[in-house]
Amino acid sequence: MELGISSFGEVNPDNKAGQAVNAHQRMQDLLEEIKLADEVGLDVFALGEHHRPDFIISAPEVILAAAAAQTKTIRLSSAVTVLSSADPVRTFQNFATLDLISNGRAEILAGRGSFTESFPLFGYDLSDYNELFTEKLNLLLAINESEKVTWSGKLRAPLKQAGIYPRPLQEKLPIWIAVGGTPASAVRAGRLNLPMTVAMLGGTPERFVPFINLYRESAAQAGHDVTKLQLAANSQFYIADDSQQASNEFWPPYELLMNRVGRERGWPPISREQYEQTRKYGPLMVGSPQQVIDKILHFHELFQNTRYLGQMIGGHLISHKQNLRSIELFGTKVAPAVRKALQSTSVETVTV
């Protein structure tokens, strides 16, 4: 199983037109975090696209290209690319360029986006939310398959034997689909035989099992080899040297983020008790190295996932030093133990 980190790049907004000091520092910190993740042996670092004052990443490809020059082996992905409000041609070109810079380490994680700021920003109608994603995903997949593309749709100008350049170093760019729990999304990913990433924010991990089964059943019904499907589980995470330290350090930024977003969406304020319950029984991956090891292995037992991505949050309420320590513990303590446990399980299965 691959182990990695995702980030939206939380930042304390500068609220000014220029001299964005906070944004500048957060960007430098983010690049250092990716560099450390590579050095401690993590497999993936993924950056999520947003167009808000509290998140710094509106152009994941640009930041990932900068990170590519400072890293050696870690795979570099979006998390997500809001494909519904992006141009698939330009998206492919950007990630193919990243692939060339990184010696073949680029990936696209495409989604519809849980935030909608990009739609009016780029001139799209929210009433076309679902149709935009379906149409643009089909075009992106066609571009990934062929150097020259003939395509037509309702919401974008057609292409006739259009050459899309540059081409990536990899035979094809890995294109994952990000989903949040909508059954139709799992069915689509399965039928298209695409890797799927499940974002888990609340509830219990067990409630996602039927959803993941639907993904695999849909792939099988479409004639695909289910044993080759790639599946990632994604949840918010933070690791400290002991459990109480992790809980205390992560609670302030978690409360700030969840209640800020919650006010926008009509959710009730989250309490410390709810947080602790989600940390203990839900998908929240916050604790000591051993707690995180146990929960990642529990996820794998439930889902048989091939990748786990821990979503790092923080911004100005958790220090850069603390985030670096969390990444260090993930790479040096958690990852080796998880890999060893899964390798032992695999050997036992083969032996039996």
Domain of residue 226, CATH code: 3.20.20.30
What CA–CA distances, in Å, run from 349 to 107, 251, 345? 31, 40, 6
pLDDT digits over 143-178, tens only?
A: 999 999 999 999 999 999 999 999 999 999 999 999
* Cβ proximity of 37 and 47 under 8 Å: no
CA separation for the pair 300, 231 (Å, rounded): 10
* Residue in the block written with tokens 């037109």: 17
CA separation for the pair 274, 261 (Å, rounded): 16
> How confident is the model over 89-108, as a mean pLDDT?
98
> CA neighbours within 13 Å on the CB side: how many for 294?
10
DSSP state of 55: B
> How confident is the model over 23-38, as a mean pLDDT?
97
Q: Which domain holds residue 112?
A: 2-349
pLDDT of residue 352: 47
* Cβ proximity of 186 and 218 under 8 Å: yes
Number of domains present in the structure of the chain: 1
The phi, psi pair for 341, rounded to 5°, reads: -65, -45
pLDDT bucket at 272, cuts 50 / 70 / 90: very high
Amino acid at 275: Y
The total number of residues written for the chain in this structure: 352
pLDDT of residue 346: 66
Query: Quick one: CA dihedral 258, 330, 78, 298, positive or negative?
Result: negative
pLDDT of residue 348: 62
Instruction: Decide the pairing of beta strands 44-47 and 285-287.
Output: unpaired
> How confident is the model over 95-120, as a mean pLDDT?
95
Closest CA to 63 of 87, 43, 90, 81: 81
Q: Which residues contact 236 (CB under 8 A, 6 or more apart)?
A: 201, 254, 283, 284, 285, 286, 310, 311, 312, 313
pLDDT of residue 261: 87
Whether 189 has a pLDDT exceeding 90, the answer reads: yes
Whether 315 has a pLDDT exceeding 80, the answer reads: no
* Residue in the block written with tokens 């997500």: 80
pLDDT of residue 265: 87
* Cβ proximity of 194 and 175 under 8 Å: yes
pLDDT digits over 212-235, tens only?
A: 999 999 999 999 999 999 999 999
User: In degrees, to the nearest 5, what angle opens at C-alpha 265 toward C-alphas 125 and 232?
Assistant: 80
* Cβ proximity of 109 and 79 under 8 Å: yes
The string of DSSP codes covering 173-225 is: --EEEEESS-HHHHHHHHHTT--EEEE--SS-GGGGHHHHHHHHHHHHHTT--
> How confident is the model over 186-212, as a mean pLDDT?
96
Q: Token pair of 25, please? A: 């520092």
Q: b or e along 59-96 (b: 16 or more beta carbons within 10 Å of the residue's beta carbon)? A: ebbebbbebbeebeebbbbbbbbbbbbbebbebbbbbb
Closest CA to 226 of 196, 259, 184, 246: 196
pLDDT of residue 349: 55
pTM of the entire structure? Answer: 0.96
Whether 299 has a pLDDT exceeding 80, the answer reads: yes
Whether 192 has a pLDDT exceeding 90, the answer reads: yes
pLDDT of residue 316: 72
Whether 57 has a pLDDT exceeding 80, the answer reads: yes
